[in-house]
Amino acid sequence: MKRLTVLLPLITFLVFGSVLQAQAQEPIRVLIITGEADLPWHFWRETTGAIRKILDTTGRFETRLVEEPGTVNATILKKFDAVIINYNGLRWPRETEEAITDFVHSGGGLFAFHHSSYGRFFGHEIKDGQWYPGPEDAGWKEFPKMIGASWKPANIGHARRCIFEVDWMNQSHPVAAGLSPSFMANDELYHKLDLHEGVEVLADAMSPADLGGTGKREPLIWTNNYGKGRVFYTTLGHDTLAWYEPGMANLLSRGVEWAASGKVTLKPIDRGFGGPAKDDVRLLVVTSGHDYPVAFYSMLDSLQGVTWSHGLTHSEAFSQSLQGRFDVVLHHDMHNETSEQTRQTLKSFVESGGGVVSLHHAIVNYTDWPWWYEEVIGGKYFEKPLGDHPASTYQHDVEFSVTPVRGKERHPVLSGVGPLWVDDEVYKGMLLSPGIEVLMETKHPGNDPPVVYVGPHPNIRSVYIQLGHSASTMRNPGFQQLVENAVKWTARRID
């Protein structure tokens, strides 16, 4: 007996520990090295932004950026699993080049693309916009060996930029496994590169002769081994428009994951820049009854991990059941009256676990439905006196601050949201249910103190955010984060 009591906690700990490890994958640490390219052809700052956005959206990577490659050394590289090179320019200091060579040789991942396949790393020199071979020892000898390719200056070129189909040739490779057999590229189709022995070509495309191409299939994606390191190379990736294609998001994120770890765990991406994905929160946005700034749509598009649909009228939004189609309803409508249909649809939605986020003038909503404003939302703006409650008041174009309530700073709805300084609308004299949990407040005399609060119903997740009159509020990153958090929290995705 005694022995058992000693062993049991240990066994429990071990099993639990391994489960935890399987669930929370360590992020792959990626260093993007950039800072120069052959302008005006290749805008490194823009493509770096696109690349970083794609990687960050997957949640699989921890990305860092260096725009001064000469500062990279072995100590810095120790902190990374893979390096991305988005560069075409002067040679790097010897210490940097050697550190990168050693990094890859000893097992670090390398992802490089497009304009990294020619230029000074290869000993080429440029004159009047044309590349020529330079002196024998001008290049970084190990770089072509790492990427497994060279390009004779006389061969540097591509078909006129066009849209074409890229075919995966070997779908047993982890990067291509599970993807469609081909994807569309909107890019420059480089031709006549010399691939080194030992590279494995993963994808190619037909180079169109009528657009200045070779009329032959050209390799576009390949892998190479350099020492213990895995290298992933693609000739694609000319500009942000090229990187917008979902096929590029797949080859980048999967290529980097593979180069760093030898495995691919990421699910295929089917939209540009990692936008709407299958596990996004499904949000129904309901408007009508009041106008709003067009920037409202920019705010909605800024919400990460959320796919939204628009119900322009109540009959469009609520004529059929919402269960199974949406996780959260965002009210930005304004109607004193509700139909029986609207009430039934909303009641069964929230009672089955659906979330509610109400913005700004939606606090006027549903005067004929006290259950909604007293128990679900927890507040109400009265356009006219009702019973012994006088009419509420408003004032446009007021600058005021809204701050987290002390002790509520760590509520998930306020994560990453600090105090907000806004030019918006103040409301005063509203009904406030006793059971609301106030998250943000203001001291402005023209406004009731609560500005952001959770509704009182114990089984329904509802958040009211009073801000949202002006375009500047819609564009405020703190406000956008607040709405995103509210949507995810009412969808029960964050706690």
Residue 373 has a CB neighbour count (10 Å cut-off) of 24
| Minimum CB distance to Zn ion smaller for 411 or for 469 | 469
For residues 329 and 363, which CB has a smaller minimum distance to Zn ion in the complex? Answer: 363
Nearest distance from C-beta of residue 427 to Zn ion, angstroms: 9
Residue 13 amino acid letter: F
Q: Rounded to whole angstroms, how far apart are CA atoms 452 and 438?
A: 6
Nearer to Zn ion, 57 or 358 (CB): 358
User: Least distance from C-beta 334 to Zn ion, angstroms?
Assistant: 9
d(CA 49, CA 150) in angstroms, rounded, equals 27
**Which CB, 77 or 221, lies closer to Zn ion?**
221
Taking the complex as a whole, the smallest distance from the CB of residue 22 to Zn ion amounts, in Å, to: 41
Task: Summarize as ranges the residues that interact with Zn ion (CB under 5 A).
Answer: 188, 238, 425, 469
Question: Which of 265, 234, 270 lies closest to 250, judged by CA?
Answer: 270
Q: Which of 294, 295, 346 is nearest to 317 (CA)?
A: 346
Nearer of residues 214 and 225 to Zn ion, judged by Cβ: 214
Residue 327 or 425 having the CB closest to Zn ion: 425
Q: What are the DSSP calls for 45-96, one per residue?
A: HHHHHHHHHHHHHHTSEEEEEES-GGG--HHHHTT-SEEEE---SSPPPHHH
> At its nearest, how many Å lie between Zn ion and the CB of residue 273?
19
Nearer to Zn ion by Cβ, of 405 and 465: the residue is 465
CA 251, CA 232: separation in Å to the nearest integer?
A: 9
d(CA 424, CA 479): 12
Strands 200-206 and 162-168: antiparallel
Contact present, 390 and 429 (Cβ < 8 Å): yes
Q: Tokens in use for 79?
A: 């902190």
Q: CB of 443: closest distance to Zn ion in angstroms?
A: 20
CB-nearer residue toward Zn ion: 97 or 425: 425
Looking at residue 386, the DSSP 8-state letter turns out to be: B
Q: What per-residue string of b and e applies to 117-148 under the rule 16 or more CB within 10 Å gives b?
A: bbbbbbbbeeeeeebeeeeeeebbebbbbbbb
Least distance in Å: CB of 469 to Zn ion?
A: 3
Specify the residue, 42 or 457, whose C-beta has the smaller distance to Zn ion: 42
Task: Please state, in angstroms and rounded to a whole number, the distance separating the CA atoms of residues 467 and 26.
Answer: 38
- Work out whether the CA dihedral 198, 204, 209, 211 comes out positive or negative: negative
Q: How far is the CB of 115 from Zn ion (least distance, A)?
A: 6
CB of 212 to Zn ion, least distance (A): 14
Minimum CB distance to Zn ion, residue 297 (Å): 17
